[in-house]
Amino acid sequence: MVKDAGEKIGLFNSRLDMLFENVAKWLDEVGIKWKVYERTNHENQSGPYDTKELRIFDADNQEMARLEPYGIWLIGASGRVDLVSVMGREMFVYLKPNGAKLERTISDGKGIIDKTEWPLTEETVEGWYWIDNPQRRKHPPLDKDLFIDLLENAK
């Protein structure tokens, strides 16, 4: 297990709380019902940890989608949450500016002769982003219009 797992879990849950606050506000503005539930996630790096998910309901009080925490330990991101529905999954990740990079170093045995870095993402503002295509390096930030559009497509 990771030595600072408790700190990372706390930070992830704080970011998740902020995301859920925003999403709840957006859902309230368009008259969609929601509720936050406790859950336990399991990851190899931390073992089990307590977190939350946000469930979204239609007019008949049937669950139509949920925001489900996927994990904390990811390459290139500081957490992932999926919008899950019968139509599939939409992935949101928490990105930091100048975050993870791929690095290539060439050595001749005596020292480094070439070193190149490629950023995995091009985001300049920390926050939640929609990963519509994992092959791209530029991703749209999650906002009300994008979330409501994705939710409409999830029905």
pLDDT value of residue 113? 76
Rounded to an integer, what distance in angstroms lies between the CA atom of residue 132 and that of residue 150?
Answer: 11
> What is the model's pLDDT at position 55?
98
Residue 106 burial (CB < 10 Å; 0-12/13-18/19+)?
exposed
- Look up residue 8 and give its two tokens: 């990372």
pTM of the model: 0.81
pLDDT at position 99, please?
58
- Average confidence (pLDDT) over 63-79: 89
The residue ranking higher by pLDDT, 138 or 58, is: 58
* Distance separating alpha carbons of residues 130 and 67, to the nearest angstrom: 13
The alpha carbon of residue 142 and the mean position of all alpha carbons in its chain are separated, in whole angstroms, by 10
Residue 98 has pLDDT above 70, yes or no: no
Task: Give the end-to-end CA distance of the chain in Å, rounded to a whole number.
Answer: 38
pLDDT-wise least confident of 36-45, 46-55, 113-122, 132-141: 113-122
Instruction: Give pLDDT tens digits for 143-155.
Output: 999 999 999 988 7
pLDDT on residue 107: 74
> DSSP string spanning 100-151?
-EEEEEEE-SSSEEEEEEEES----S-EEEEES-TT-S--PBP-HHHHHHHH
